[in-house]
Amino acid sequence: MSLFRKKSLSDLLAQAADSEKGLKRTLGAGSLVALGIGAIIGAGLFVRTAAAAGQAAGPGVTLSFIVAAIGCAFAGLCYAEFAAMIPIAGSAYAYSYVTMGELVAWIIGWALIMEYALGAATVSIAWSEYLNRLLDGGIPYQWCHSPLESFTDASGVHHQGIINIPALFILLLLTLLLIKGTQESAIVNAVIVFIKVAIVVIFIIVGWQFIKPENHTPYLIPANTPPVIDNGGKVIADYSGWNKHGWGGILGGAAIVFFAFIGFDAVSTAAQEAKNPKRDMPIGILGSLVVCTILYILFGHVLTGVASWKDFVDPAKGREASVAYAISTYMHGYGWLATSVTVAILAGFSSVILVMLMGQSRVFYTMSTDGLLPKAFSELHPKFRTPYKSNIILFIFVGLFAGFVPESMAGNLTSFGTLLAFVLVSVGVPILRVKAPNIERPFKTPLAPLVAFLGAAICILMIIGLDKDTLLSALGWMIIGLIVYFAYSKKNSKLKA
């Protein structure tokens, strides 16, 4: 069965060990934890928290974070085993190639485009929203929104988006930084991570005294909650679906905020650039996940306590730039904090985009070296030894989504790609335990295969919790991927018989 031909584990390990021809090994454990936090704390926290509260979970968004974190913890343990054992840049794609064969590897590689590329697009859109907030709405609506977005203001004037120019600007700037080098990118990321974690902690400490208990009652959205309609008569929130209220809403909210956790697996894409991957990869993956989960739960509790979840239903009101909105509206006397939060969040979003773009280019790099993508994706810059052509192509692709697709659509597709990757990585651990029991495993997933099974099961449940439009869009994306595979990749694979 040539569709399921597998890459030799020994070949993969030899490729990872070839430091002369490949990517530079410049990252230590601290840099990897910072990369994880850099990718995790971003749009998922500052934008998707409010979106999940307003669309499905209400104040129970804290429970949504817990559900998502449990799924991530199980998957993270599986990622840590693979990343320490196979320090290669391809992440879930490379692991699947060894355990389940080429077709499955291609499917997950294609899904990772949704995770990293659309993740970068989603956060760049959020970056644009916060920049506009900082400028007090100084950017005209049409130049900072997708043509698929529109709204009617209180005076009855209709606004229609054309292109999101600020999102394209930040993507270009960070692409140029990535082309310059991984170490330089890691240093910039570490500085940004320190700033944004400090701001999150300050918001939690200061905001705690402004929590109103009535905002947390009821804790779950009631089943009989009527739909919300904007000034133009457009329905912007409907709570009739099973995953839009009550405990079902907690699962629906978990599927939305799951986007917030994609950073820790992005650490695994840097495995080929880690100085000591056997020790440092588990620390980077699990360390960043633990730190961010604690901050997320506290942050969600404070945000929905300071402002009612109903404030986050309408994007034109509180959901865009939700933290600054909550501070300026309900935390009187802390206007300076709203401004500093916005500035810090802009910097923080930049680090998320940086890690997502880096992760995607490294997946492309590995797929290209396997022959499944054109050679241009694996060509390294003669001086910087970075996959510069891949970065340029990725900027064009991501820019199309950032400039012309709404944040909610790109964000939910990102969650689908992440969840699918987590499912296959979780399944891959027990498979490789059976097929290669004697290989050195510097880190072993505890209680396998139970942990692997639970990780896959919870992630599948969260996929089901995504809305119908997202699932149909994801299905269409995967069909396109299969067409590309059979038209190009299968014939050009280096494992071709």
Q: What is the pLDDT along the chain (497 residues), one digit of tens a residue?
A: 577 788 887 777 676 665 545 566 667 788 888 878 877 786 567 777 888 888 888 899 999 999 888 888 888 888 888 878 877 766 778 888 888 889 988 998 898 888 788 888 888 988 998 888 788 888 998 898 888 888 777 777 888 889 999 999 999 999 998 888 767 777 887 888 888 888 889 999 999 999 999 999 999 999 888 887 876 677 777 888 888 888 898 988 888 887 777 767 777 777 777 777 778 888 888 888 888 889 999 999 999 999 998 888 876 655 556 888 888 889 988 888 888 877 877 887 888 888 889 888 888 888 998 899 999 998 888 887 788 899 999 999 999 989 988 876 676 777 788 888 888 889 988 988 888 888 888 888 888 889 999 989 988 988 887 888 888 988 998 999 999 999 999 999 988 75
Question: What is the model's pTM?
Answer: 0.74
Does residue 452 lie within any of the structural domains? Answer: yes
Residue 58 belongs to domain spanning: 31-489
In angstroms, the CA 408 to CA 459 distance is 20
Longest dimension (CA), the chain: 70
Q: Which two tokens stand for residue 402?
A: 């950032």
How long a stretch of residues is the chain? 497
- The answer to whether the beta carbons of residues 71 and 418 sit under 8 Å apart is no
Per DSSP, the residues of 261-304 read: GTHHHHGGGGGGGBSSHHHHHHHHHHHHHHHHHHHHHHHHHHHH
Q: Is the alpha carbon torsion for 446, 62, 300, 144 positive or negative? A: positive
Does residue 20 lie within any of the structural domains? Answer: no
Does residue 454 lie within any of the structural domains? Answer: yes
Q: What is the CA radius of gyration of the chain?
A: 22
- The answer to whether the beta carbons of residues 252 and 56 sit under 8 Å apart is yes
Pairing of strands 235-237, 228-229: antiparallel
Q: Give Cα separations from 246 to 13, 226, 230, 257, 259 (angstroms).
A: 48, 14, 24, 16, 21
Q: How many domains does the chain have?
A: 1
- The answer to whether the beta carbons of residues 357 and 174 sit under 8 Å apart is yes
Count of Cβ atoms closer than 10 Å to residue 130 Cβ: 26
Does residue 24 lie within any of the structural domains? Answer: no
In angstroms, the CA 310 to CA 217 distance is 12
The CATH number covering residue 64 comes to: 1.20.1740.10
Does residue 315 lie within any of the structural domains? Answer: yes
Does residue 10 lie within any of the structural domains? Answer: no
Does residue 495 lie within any of the structural domains? Answer: no
Does residue 111 lie within any of the structural domains? Answer: yes
